[in-house]
Amino acid sequence: MKRLIEFPLEDGATILVEAEVSEEPGMVPAARGERGVLKAQQTFEAALDRIRPAAQVLIQKLRALHDPPDEIQVEFGLSLNAQAGAFIAAASTEAHYKITLTWRREERKPGA
């Protein structure tokens, strides 16, 4: 079932994120009622920190190619959960990444 999850921010503000939620132990309903918003157990920043290592390793490996690209674009899905925070979304048991590598070569002028 889709629910709203309230994530506190480090500056004291909050954001609401819509997420698919199964009823799990440890979720705390917010003051809006049992069917209302769930409060996350960690800040939004802390949730995103959980996926940082995977993103950093992927980019480091791509930059370490023998002929590294001038530009790297990595797109991946995130799932947010009131208890677990953020994790890379997976299709079945495999994560899906879309990677675009761009090399820019200077064009040689005729006669040069």
Per-residue pLDDT tens over the stretch 13-58:
888 877 766 665 555 554 444 457 778 888 888 888 877 888 888 8
Cα-based torsion angle of the residue sequence 54, 55, 57, 61 in order, rounded to the nearest 10 degrees:
140
User: Model confidence over 2-14: pLDDT tens digits?
Assistant: 778 788 888 988 8
Number of neighbours of residue 38 by Cβ within 10 angstroms: 23
Question: What is the model's pLDDT at position 48?
Answer: 81
Q: How far is CA 23 from the centre of its chain?
A: 22
What is the reported pLDDT for 102? 93
Instruction: Please provide the DSSP assignment of 13-55 as one string.
Output: -EEEEEEE----TT-EE-TT-TTSPEEPSS-HHHHHHTTHHHH
Residue 65 has pLDDT above 90, yes or no: yes
Look at residue 66 and tell me whether its pLDDT is greater than 90.
yes
Rounded Cα gap, residues 4 and 81, in angstroms: 10
Q: How far is CA 35 from CA 3, 59, 79, in A?
A: 8, 40, 21
DSSP-derived letter for residue 107 is P
Residue-range domain boundaries for the chain: 2-102
Q: What is the pTM of this model?
A: 0.56
